[in-house]
Amino acid sequence: MVNLEINPVTPLIGAEIKNIDLRNTLHKEEIAKIRGAFLKHSVLFFRDQDLNIDQQKAFGKYFGDLHIHPARDRNGIDGHPEILYINAGPDTSRVNGDDWHSDVSCDEKPPMGSILRIFEVPSSGGDTLFASMYAAYDALSSSMKKFLEPLTAIHDGGPNYIDRAKRAGIYKPEKVFPSNSHPVIRTHPETNKKSIYVNKIFTQSINGIPKDESKAILEFLFQHIAKPTFQCRFKWEKDSIAFWDNRCALHHAMWDYYPEVRRGYRVTIAGDKPL
């Protein structure tokens, strides 16, 4: 008997899932319901999920193969290459992901989803904002949609990851980070819906148009995608989990709790080449 409760956070993005213990082996029907809610709401939230690393990896594997992060030498943990350690505190100058982005969009096949469990929260702050790129696409004029449709853009991991490696004192000049072109408007491989696929952390320029036009269009898109109407905001508690769809949602981790600590583990699910 599957008793999942699915409570939307806003009509456009986010839903809280209740009546499930993710430490358990899930029934096929439960997995299908979670997948359906994930595709409908783009990000799912769970509370009070005291998962160990193996249970978190097992939950991720219900939805696909696990992705190995290109910057895992900075944020990995021994024996678990699929785990990304999220750790911000008095010794960190910035938190990972403190601007709008889709995880590792610089990869040729960027991850389809990310599952973050936070096990240490600051006394206040440290929320994550999520934004629906379906809603952002839908809100564009038809002439702007037409203009953007054939364009591709460069997503380069170098500037972000090199900056962070330098700050962490582990910069290796020989290390090369992924850089790939992706469509500015992508079609979700499962819902077939269109969304805007550029983000502030990785997208550097639009291909095939003059530099100043590329800069102006990206500036417009970065402002457009950050409109509050497209967003929901998640307040973490100890053992909360968020599971987001990187193909149609952006997220932004707030860095407003220095010098307090926020720590967690993320597993990331492999994805397809954006089309």
Using the contact rule CB under 5 A, the part of the chain among 102-110, 171-179, 201-209, 225-233 near Fe ion is: 102-110
Pairing of strands 128-132, 249-253: antiparallel
Size (the chain), residues? 275
Q: Which of residues 193 and 200 has its CB atom nearest to Fe ion in the complex?
A: 200
- The closest alpha carbon to 239, from 70, 55, 48, belongs to 48
Catalytic one of 101, 117, 164, 188: 101
Nearest approach, Cβ of residue 27 and Fe ion (Å): 30
15-18 and 43-46 beta bridge pairing: parallel
- Give catalytic status of residue 99 as yes or no: no
For residue 41, report the phi and psi dihedrals to the nearest 5 degrees.
-105, -10
Of 177 and 217, which CB lies nearer to Fe ion in the complex structure? 177
Is residue 122 within the footprint of Fe ion (CB under 5 A)? no
CB of 175: closest distance to Fe ion in angstroms?
20
Pick the closer one to Fe ion by CB: 26 or 89: 89
224 is catalytic: no
CB-based contact 234:126 (threshold 8 Å): no
Q: Judged by CB, which is closer to Fe ion: 104, or 148?
A: 104
Helix, coil or strand: residue 193: coil
Give the three-state DSSP class for 225: helix
Q: How far is the CB of 145 from Fe ion (least distance, A)?
A: 27
**Among the options 67, 69, 251, 262, which is catalytic?**
251
The C-alpha R_g of the chain, in whole angstroms, comes to: 18
Positions in 69-98 near Fe ion (CB under 5 A): 97
Closest-CA residue to 103 (of 145, 59, 72): 72
Stretch that binds Fe ion, among 7-15, 46-54, 101-109, 161-169 (CB under 5 A): 101-109
In whole angstroms, give the CA distance from residue 114 to residue 259.
26
Catalytic site residue from 164, 182, 252, 266: 266
The helix or strand, by DSSP H or E, that contains position 262, with its residue range, turns out to be: strand 262-269
Rounded CA gap, 87 and 84, in Å? 9
The least CB distance from residue 198 to Fe ion, in Å, is 15
At its nearest, how many Å lie between Fe ion and the CB of residue 208?
28
Q: Exactly one of 12, 13, 33, 103 binds Fe ion (CB under 5 A); which one?
A: 103
Question: Catalytic residue at 117?
Answer: no
The residue among 97 and 183 lying less far from Fe ion, judged by its C-beta, is 97
Cβ-proximal residue to Fe ion, closest one: 97
Are the beta carbons of 97 and 257 closer than 8 angstroms? no
Beta bridge partners of 234: 128
Q: Are 234 and 82 in contact (CB under 8 A)?
A: no
Name the residue nearer to Fe ion (CB basis): 17 or 249: 249
Residue 111 C-beta: closest distance to Fe ion, Å? 10
Using CB under 5 A as the criterion, which residues of the chain lie in contact with Fe ion when the complex forms? 97, 103
Which residues are known to be catalytic? 101, 103, 251, 266
